[in-house]
Structure formats: C-alpha cells, structure tokens
Amino acid sequence: MFIIIFLVASVAMAAAAYLIKVKYISYGITALHTCLLIALNVHEFYYLNQLEAEYFESDYLSIIFLTILSIISITTQIHAYIYNEKRQEYRRNVSVHNMGFIIFVTAIAAVCMAQHVGILWAFVEMTTLAASVLIYHDRNLLALEGTWKYIFVCSIGIALAFAGILFLGVAIQEAHLLDFSILTIKAHAKEMNPIWLKVCFLLILTGFSVKMGIAPLFNVDIDAKDVSPSPIGAMFSSCLTNVGFISIFRFYECFTETAILGWMNNVLMISGVLSIFFASTYLLKVDNYKRAFAYSSMEHSGIAIIALATGHPIGYFACVLHLILHSFTKASLFYQIGQVYRVFNSKYESGVGGYFKLNPLGGLVLLFGMLSILALPPFGLFISEFMMFRALALTNNWLILIGVVILLSFIVYSLSKKFIHLLFGKFDFQCSDIRQHVHPAETFSQFVLLGLVMYVGVIQPDFLVNYINKAIEVLGK
C-alpha cells in the first residue's frame, strides 16, 4: 500500500509547498517529496509485479521509467532553484512552482504504475493541469499564450483518448466483461471485436501523441518547451515524453496478441515517420535553440515509435533503450541552454556565438550533447538507432529505412550547424553583452547525465539489458 501513502503524502506536501511562503521551506518540502519518490522507487524494485490498492502494479517498464523520473527530478530541482534565485523570483511564484512540480512528478509516477486504463487516463490528465502551472511560471504574455494553448490542445487530446477508452468499453461489454484492468483486457482481447479495438487504438495514439510530442498533436508540445523555464523543458522532453509513450505502450501491450497487431504497427509507423519528417522540416528553418531542442525530441520520439512499430524484439529493445538515453541527453541540453540564455540574454542564433570561450565547461556539455543527440559513437543513442535500423531491415521495411536515413541526414545537418555556431561562431563581445557568468559547478549534473549515456554506449551493463528484456517480454515474440 506504499503507493497510497505516496499519493496522500504528495497531496499534503503540494498543499504545504503552496501555503508556506518561505522560500527555503518550500524548497525543502519539494526535496522531501523527491526523497519520498526515491523511496517509492526502491519499494517497487523489491515488490515487482505485486498488485497494490487494486489499480497499481510495478512491472519492469515501470521501474525503468520511475528510476528515470527520480534522477531527472533531482537534477531539475537543482536547476530550478538556480533559475529562481538568479531571477530573484517572488516567494509566491516559488511556492506555486513547487506545488505544481510536486503534483506533476506525482502524476507521472502514478502513470508509470497504473494497471487500470481509467486510472492511467486520470493521471495523464493530471499531468496537463500540473504542467500548465509550470509553463506559466514566468508570468509573461508568451507564457500565458503557451499555457492556454497547452491546456486547450491537451484537453482535446485527452478527450480523444477518453473516447478511445469508451470504444474499448463497448468491446469489453460485448465480451461480457466488467473489468478495465490491463491484465484482464490483455487476457481477453482476442475475444473482442477488432473494429472497436482499432478505433480505440487510433484514438489513444492520437490523444496521447500530445504528451509524447509526436504526430499528429505535436505543435503544442513544442510551444510548451519553448516558453517554460529551461529546467521544466528538461522535464517535458524526458519524463513527460515517457508518459506519452507508457500510455500508448499499455494499450499496444493489451492488443499485441490480437489480429490488429499488424494494423497497429502500420499506424505507429506512419506516426513515427511523419514525426521525423515534420521535425526535419522545421529544424531547417527554426532559429530558436529551445524550439530546436524540442523538435529534436520529436524526432527521437518518432525513432522510438518506429522501433516499436517494427514488431520485432530488436525493435522493442531499441525503443525502450532509446527513450532512456534520450531522457538523460535532452535533459542535460535543456539545462545548458538555460545557462546560455543567462550569458547572452538570447536563445536565438543571431544573439549567440563563441560560447566555448565564455563558458568552456558549458561548451563541453553542448559538444558532448551534440554528439549524443546526433547518435554518434561512443554515446548510447548510436546503439539504439543502429538497432532500430537493424529491426527495419530484418522486417523488410527497406523503403522506411531509406526514407528515415534521408530525413535524419537533414536533421544532422541542421542541428550540427546550430551547435557549431553557438559554440564557435563569431560574436562581437562587449562587457555589456554578457549578462551573467555561470559558475562551473552548475554543469556537474549535466556531465553526470551525459556520462550515463556514454557509459551505456561503451559498456552496455548487464542489469540494464536484463531489465529492458524483461520489460518487453509482455509483447511476446
């Protein structure tokens, strides 16, 4: 019943963080909540596959993404503290931010563990409400516009997902069942009308695409990452993306042994290819670094979805591994672009350049981040992308493979050009141009995250391979 303790305590902590206007007490409550999250993570590690409170159960996939959530929550809190203190935020803004952060993290943890489609849907909706608080943190017109867009489009997406669950309910009723648990649906999915299952999955994919940042409902995700503080952009590009994936994966898992498996793979393949296509198109013309990183997240989400859509065990493995490595890489890049903004007071190509001279350690983070996000060795994303291409080849998806290679070539060109300009481009330096100097210690967390990505690329630890293999066993072969 630890999950119930976690949920109740999280609500109490969120209320305390909001009501207590003393900054350091509010920060302390948020840090205490992260400790509680880590305790939940450890508890679930020791009590795998045990049902809790009827609706929650941790499998290997849950443990993987709970661990990512714990790590990214720690680093995000550090950088959010720096962000707020450098801006000398009002106490009220800090309290509201910390309340939203606690609710946001709690909802993500619940999504990871939810084993009932209704409960999963409810906590995904909770991430929308909490994320809107975090997006509006800067209290300006762009943040207000981004917040309303996010609420509006996410509400449409969540409504579509709910409609998908209603169609699933029709299929369940026809099969003379009354249980919406994932285990029951998976066990009896073969008995259900495939037409209702197809409609359900199509609506689920469309609705939850707004969280994963893939086609069709990807635009609002880009805006949210742009206008929110950089540490929150890191959470959106890692943990919130994973929420979208988990939500889609649970329904894919339920229907994987039915006659619609091939149809689901085709739909996922279309969504993945379209995501990479749109990302490559927008990256060619965007000059905003935060938006560029957001489109890069869309590209990598598309790669993960394509790997899943191959229907091959190698593709399944590549999908989960890619999301793990992307989470750490993209979080480090968003933290660093926040430091870039503090130095230049700009996030646009025309307002930056020569960053390596001003902040050598931060420049190294961007250099290593570039190598990682472009999937170059020795970083782990090279391994997961290579496995995705191998799965495409083994399933004879040669046209998809060739098309993805071409699109990724445009993305490599666009991103490398932007990174090189930021790091080494010419810029007329004057004392007045440099707004702040960044302390070297602020880059430590980013080196840790990128070090994890490099470690996986070189070593490929047995425990990680084993956990991913256990996580994808639910999909069969």
Q: What is the pLDDT of residue 1?
A: 81
Q: What span, in angstroms and rounded, lies between the C-alpha atoms of 197 and 194?
A: 5
The answer as to whether 434 is a domain residue is yes
Q: Could you write out the DSSP letters of every residue in 58-91?
A: --HHHHHHHHHHHHHHHHHHHHHHHHHHHTT--H
Residue 10's pLDDT is what? 98
- pLDDT given at position 437: 81
Position 58 in a domain: no
> Within 13 Å of residue 167, how many CA atoms lie on the same side as its CB?
19
Q: Tell me if 386 is assigned to some domain.
A: yes
Specify the 3-state DSSP secondary structure of 215.
coil
208 burial level (CB within 10 Å; 0-12, 13-18, 19+): buried
> What contacts 444, CB < 8 A, 6 or more positions away?
none
Residue partners of 76: CB distance under 8 A and separation at least 6: 101, 231, 232, 234, 235, 331
Q: Which two tokens stand for residue 331?
A: 């979080």
Q: What is the pLDDT of residue 442?
A: 94
- Which parts of the chain sit beneath pLDDT 50? 431-432
Residue with tokens 């579509």: 160
Query: For residue 46, is it within any domain?
Result: no
Which tokens is 141 given? 């017109």
Domain coverage including residue 299: 260-477
Give per-residue pLDDT as tens, 433-464.
Answer: 567 788 999 999 999 999 999 999 889 899 99
Bridge partners of 181? 116
| Domain assignment present for 438 | yes
Is 152 domain-assigned?
no
The encoded tokens of residue 99 equal: 């309340």
CA 294 and chain centroid, separation: 11
- pLDDT at residue 417, as a whole number: 96
% residues pLDDT > 70 (the chain): 98
* Full DSSP string of 335-379: HHHHHHHHHHS--BGGG---HHHH-HHHHHHHHHHHHHHTT-TTS
How many structural domains comprise the chain? 1
Rounded CA separation 408/168 (Å): 36
- State the pLDDT at residue 433: 54
CB 388 within 8 A of CB 315: yes
Burial annotation 243-256 (CB, 10 A radius, 16+ → b, else e)? bbbbbbbbbbbbbb
Q: For residue 241, tell me if it sits in a domain.
A: no
Among left, alpha and beta (phi > 0; psi -120 to 50; other), residue 428 is beta
pTM above 0.75, yes or no: yes
pLDDT, position 411: 97
In a domain, residue 144? The reply is: no
390: burial class by Cβ within 10 Å (0-12, 13-18, 19+)?
Answer: middle
- What is the C-alpha separation between 175 and 22, in angstroms, rounded? 56
Phi-psi region of 359 (alpha: psi -120 to 50; beta: other; left: phi over 0): beta
pLDDT for position 430: 60
